[in-house]
């Protein structure tokens, strides 16, 4: 069974700082990996998808890297803004059944 760990569990930074969110997973046989954002009481918004053959993916201020062999992914958020405050979830999708597994998330607070 895929186990996903996200570190840190929570992060509080002043506006403008860069954020680094770490994710590790136990089964490297993945199809792809998605990063999601969840606002309190809401559903999930997909931020980035990295294919298993890719090393990184970028969208605006967001950059995600993937080291499949070591079971790690990192989400970088540049020049953070108060609107970035949310919980960020890492979800690798296993190759044999295409299911997403979720970590507990990193809750980010960006202070104005």
Contacting residues toward other proteins, per CB under 8 A: 32, 34, 36, 41-46, 49, 89, 93, 97-105
Least spacing, CB of residue 55 vs other proteins, in Å? 18
Coil, helix or strand at residue 9? coil
Least spacing, CB of residue 94 vs other proteins, in Å? 11
Q: Which of 28, 20, 106 is nearest to 67 (CA)?
A: 28
Extended beta strands in 1-112, E state: 4-7, 10-14, 19-25, 30-38, 44-51, 56-59, 62-67, 72-77, 86-94, 106-111
Using alpha carbons, list the distances in angstroms from residue 96 to 14, 18, 50, 71, 72. 42, 35, 17, 16, 19
Least spacing, CB of residue 57 vs other proteins, in Å? 12
Comparison of 17 and 27: residue with beta carbon closer to other proteins: 27
Comparison of 29 and 104: residue with beta carbon closer to other proteins: 104
Comparison of 14 and 41: residue with beta carbon closer to other proteins: 41
Comparison of 76 and 102: residue with beta carbon closer to other proteins: 102
Least spacing, CB of residue 73 vs other proteins, in Å? 16
């Amino acid at each position: 069974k895929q186990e996903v760990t996200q570190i840190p569990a929570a992060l509080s930074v002043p506006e403008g700082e860069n954020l680094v969110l770490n994710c590790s997973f136990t089964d490297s046989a993945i199809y792809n990996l998605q990063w999601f954002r969840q606002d309190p009481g809401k559903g999930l918004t997909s931020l980035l998808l990295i294919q298993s053959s890719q090393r990184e993916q970028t969208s605006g201020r967001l950059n995600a890297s993937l080291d499949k062999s070591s079971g790690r992914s990192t989400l970088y958020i540049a020049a953070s803004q108060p609107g970035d405050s949310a919980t960020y979830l890492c979800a690798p999708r296993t190759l044999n059944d295409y299911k997403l597994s979720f970590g507990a998330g990193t809750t980010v607070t960006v202070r104005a």
